[in-house]
Structure 1
């Protein structure tokens, strides 16, 4: 039985996690939110789960390092510096940083990478995602995860080829682009589709989450 500390416990994901942890027979060691003592939570936890915010990541990683406990970072909206912080912390403690912990999404990412590698460069890649009206970042962490998988399959750098939020006179689509489109509304837990668009045919790979 593990004692799991939740950072971002007052949020929707934090509340869902607390229920799931109890249902799985583990203990919630405690919760922490903005302004709380993360180090104290880390000291009484076997593992930390972070679903807070990007600006809190450095302090959360420091708490995990000080306590010597593993940390799962599910916070989305991370930038290059945040990934560097995770990589640096992972030299000392176990760090899992992911935009989605779903088994289905993990499999989807493998399928996307395989499809991107096998289909020629004349197949365009577009990623569409839909989330509830309260989500504050776009594209979603899962969409970016899938974009990274597609880019890896093509052997390209997503940061160079990503195109987000087209608007106005954008000009023709450039070969090698990976497009992102984000919709927000209702109570959608998560809907992601990766489109591979060829001449006169299209392959679409999708994942729909029914809850968090």
Structure 2
């Protein structure tokens, strides 16, 4: 049986380089193509496979490729639309997408196999499964707070993972994060409302990604922390998604929850 062939879009970036290395090291995959903007030829050529500045051109060369993209919201929407036109597959790990951009991914997924997750970590996605049960068992006496820390070059805030975690926590209380989330506190703000989830963003250094959920109750607190030690964590999750996606059918936007 042939192995899935992988195309890395945005291959010259830090995450792109990590994805290329992980794909090339996996005997169950073939790194078939790398795509990035002009000026990055040396980084692309280093992988010894097909290279291009155009995803359309690359999919003509490698029509059965699974595109993996961790770029930017606008670029990821363009990737999804291109994949839909070409009938290919895409695994997207970009964060910071607006609702209309997620809707564009869903629309493209009607025609092509598309997978999107703002965090490809297996550990984070297991947390998304178990945290609601913890919140429900503790009950309303426990306040919920959330902090996230990332490197100083991250463009979006709060992180896509923090939003996803916040949404899962809010839903466990029967709330919506956009209504109960507090993303900034400053000045004389008065007592903390009971129906609130505080989300704090910290930026600095080269932190890959830390997320901590605080459940603060009478006389005690529970802290649940996930720390990503390297981008390899996200790369391995994306490759796992790619292997899974080739066996699926178009029709809806897939997520990590579908794998589990």
Could you state the TM-score of these two structures normalised by the residue count of structure 2? 0.76
Distance 2:175 2:107 in 1: 24
Alpha-carbon distance change, 33 to 117 in structure 1, aligned in 2, over 3 angstroms: farther
The 4+ residue runs of structure 1 with deviation greater than 4 A are none
Structure 1: where are the runs of 5+ without partners? none
Work out whether residues 4 and 29 of structure 1, in 8 Å CA contact, stay in contact via their aligned partners in 2: yes
Conserved in 2, the CA contact under 8 Å of 1:42 and 1:63? no
Q: Which moved more, 1:165-174 or 1:71-80?
A: 165-174
The structure having more radius of gyration, on CA atoms, is 2
Q: Determine if the alignment matches structure 1 residue 104 to structure 2 residue 123.
A: yes
Q: In 2, Cα distance between the equivalents of 1:9 and 1:166?
A: 38
1:34 is displaced (CA, Å) by 4.6
Deviation at 1:117, TM superposition (A): 2.4
Q: Which of residues 10, 32, 35 in structure 1 aligns to 2:35?
A: 32
Q: Which residue of 1 aligns with 2:189?
A: 170
Whether the 8 Å CA contact 2:7–2:32 is kept in 1: the answer is yes
1:145-192 deviation per Cα after TM superposition (whole angstroms, max 9, x unaligned)? 111211222222112112113223333322221211111112211111
Give the Cα separation in 2 of the matches to 1:169 and 1:17: 46
Q: Paired residue for 2:78?
A: 59
2:173 corresponding residue in structure 1: 154
Distance 1:7 1:178 in 2: 36
State the distance in 2 between where 1:33 and 1:147 align.
Answer: 33
Determine the structure 2 residue equivalent to 1:10.
12
User: RCO greater where, 1 or 2, for CA within 8 Å and sep 6 or more?
Assistant: 2
Question: Is the contact made by 2:146 and 2:198 (CA closer than 8 Å) also made in structure 1?
Answer: yes
State the distance in 2 between where 1:103 and 1:20 align: 16
Separation (CA, whole Å) in 2 of partners of 1:55 and 1:169 = 38
Greater mean alpha carbon deviation, residues 113-122 or residues 137-146:
113-122
Paired residues, what number? Answer: 212
CA distance in 2, matches of 1:32, 1:82: 22
Q: TM-score, normalised by structure 1?
A: 0.92
* C-alpha contact 2:11 2:34 (8 A) present in aligned 1: yes
Is the counterpart of residue 95 in structure 1 residue 114 in structure 2? Answer: yes
Q: Does 164-173 or 134-143 show the bigger shift?
A: 164-173
Pairwise CA distance, 1:89: 1.7
Which whole-Å CA distance do the structure 1 matches of 2:136 and 2:121 have between them? 23
**Which residue in 1 is equivalent to 2:45?**
none
Q: Distance in 1 between matches of 2:15 and 2:202?
A: 20
CA contact (8 A) 2:90 2:114 kept: yes
Aligned: 1:42 with 2:45: no
2:206 is the alignment partner of 1:203: no
